[in-house]
Amino acid sequence: MSESRIFLSSEANTHRSGGLPRVMWMILLAFAVMLPMVVNAADAIPPKGTYDGKDVLQPIEFPHDTHAKVNQINCMYCHTYARRSKVAGIPPTSKCMGCHTVIATDKPRIKKLTEYWEKGEPPKWKKVHDVPDFVHFTHEKHLRRFVFNADLPVENVSEVCGFCHGDVKNMTVANKRKPLNMGFCVRCHEANGGPSDCWKCHK
Ligand code: HEC
Ligand code: HEC
Ligand code: HEC
Ligand code: HEC
Ligand code: HEC
């Protein structure tokens, strides 16, 4: 973000002062070339680090790819609370049945889903991401900063979810792909102007 400000303000100055030495133009050009590499559409410096999560055996193998990529259903259509609370939330079966009383009803996994629905019992989805209880995390602040305040079109929200969850669009059931440890959080806060006080992340 700061790079783009420097770039824009130096450019504005040239109009007033009428020309810059050639070396300055070369520096500005170098910034313009580097900019897309460090600053993405969410106006963020993406966090570094990966994690090789083990497959989590879920009651139904829910295909994120079919929903989020092929059928372009927004992450926040199902994970409704992400934009306004600490948690993102797993959708209730009623939301699934809004489509699956008519879509793919002959498929074995949908038959299983329908059985849960008829019994009035939600599938017992197992947690994939879980930070320790002494850590304070909130989805709302991060989405406000990187989606709504960055004017990112909501259909591109998965880019921001991906900072902390990886490329869920191309997964079936979700899998942990980012370390989500203290170093990971703190480095991203340093890079993007997030808070560094211990008590912000530790209650
Ligand atoms: C907005 C509509 C919509 C919602 C909501 C929805 N789905 Fe789907 N789902 C689809 C579509 C479309 C397909 C692809 C169907 C096909 O390929 O024939 C699909 C496919 C699936 C499949 C794969 C079926 C197979 O074996 O091919 C599963 C499993 C599934 N959905 C589970 C769920 C669950 C669980 C929920 C709720 C958490 C859910 N769906 C919510 C539209 C939806
Ligand atoms: C800045 C990092 C970050 C971003 C961005 C982020 N998450 Fe999360 N998410 C986490 C962490 C950390 C947890 C574990 C929270 C816990 O254990 O209390 C989590 C947990 C979850 C969970 C399971 C628990 C819950 O909160 O319901 C879901 C579902 C989820 N995230 C979906 C999303 C979606 C969808 C997006 C984008 C709209 C998103 N997340 C963006 C860090 C992030
Ligand atoms: C049709 C509804 C639906 C859509 C759309 C959807 N999800 Fe999910 N999501 C689920 C269900 C059901 C689960 C529980 C099964 C699992 O863990 O994969 C889940 C689980 C997750 C989890 C793991 C939660 C945990 O326990 O830590 C994350 C992270 C997540 N989704 C992120 C995303 C992101 C990012 C997108 C958009 C690219 C997305 N989801 C789109 C229904 C959906
Ligand atoms: C993509 C970079 C990024 C990652 C990764 C990230 N954060 Fe943040 N976080 C921020 C920024 C930027 C803010 C400041 C948002 C604002 O208020 O404008 C923030 C704000 C917060 C806040 C709100 C503090 C307050 O003012 O109340 C908490 C709590 C927090 N982050 C915890 C975490 C934890 C815990 C993790 C790791 C699991 C994490 N964050 C990962 C960028 C990040
Ligand atoms: C941006 C969020 C964030 C900030 C700021 C932060 N921590 Fe943490 N901290 C975490 C997370 C997330 C974990 C959990 C690590 C894990 O699960 O591996 C953690 C874990 C810890 C632990 C447990 C031991 C460990 O390393 O796993 C201690 C002790 C700790 N933090 C102390 C501090 C102190 C002292 C500060 C201030 C100098 C601080 N933290 C600032 C996010 C943060």
Q: Which atom of ligand 2 is nearest to the CA of 163?
A: 5
Res 4 pLDDT > 50: no
Given a contact cutoff of 8 angstroms between Cβ atoms, the answer to whether 150 and 44 are in contact is: yes
Q: Identify the pLDDT of residue 2.
A: 39
Q: Which atom of ligand 2 is nearest to the CA of 158?
A: 37
Closest CA relative to residue 48, chosen from 203, 163, 168, 165: 163
Most confidently modeled range among 2-6, 22-26, 167-171: 167-171
What is the arithmetic mean of pLDDT over 118-139?
A: 97
- 3 state SS of 202: strand
Q: Identify the pLDDT of residue 27.
A: 58
CA of 116 to the centre of ligand 4 (A): 37
Res 169 pLDDT > 70: yes
What is the arithmetic mean of pLDDT over 119-130?
A: 96
Q: Identify the pLDDT of residue 23.
A: 65
CA of 141 to the centre of ligand 5 (A): 18
Q: Identify the pLDDT of residue 79.
A: 98
Q: Could you tell me if the CB of 117 is within 6 A of ligand 4?
A: no
Q: Which atom of ligand 3 is nearest to the CA of 165?
A: 29
Q: Above pLDDT 90, what percent of the chain?
A: 77
Q: Above pLDDT 70, what percent of the chain?
A: 81
Q: Identify the pLDDT of residue 6.
A: 35
H/E stretch holding 164? helix 158-165
d(CA 37, CA 144): 23
What is the arithmetic mean of pLDDT over 154-177?
A: 97
H/E stretch holding 160? helix 158-165
Would you report the helix, strand and coil content of the chain in percent, each value rounded to 5?
55, 0, 45
202, amino acid identity: H
CA of 50 to the centre of ligand 1 (A): 29
DSSP 63-131: -HIIIIIIS---HHHHSGGGGTSS---PPPHHHHHHHHTTSSTTSHHHHHHHHHHHHT----PPPS---
Cα dihedral sign, 136-55-121-168: positive
Q: Identify the pLDDT of residue 41.
A: 76
Going by alpha carbons, the residue nearest to atom 16 of ligand 5 is 181
d(CA 196, CA 48): 17
Cross-strand bridge partners of residue 135: 202
Q: What is the pLDDT of residues 25-55, one digit of tens each?
A: 565 555 554 544 445 678 899 999 999 998 8
The bound ligand whose nearest atom lies closest to the alpha carbon of 75 is: 3
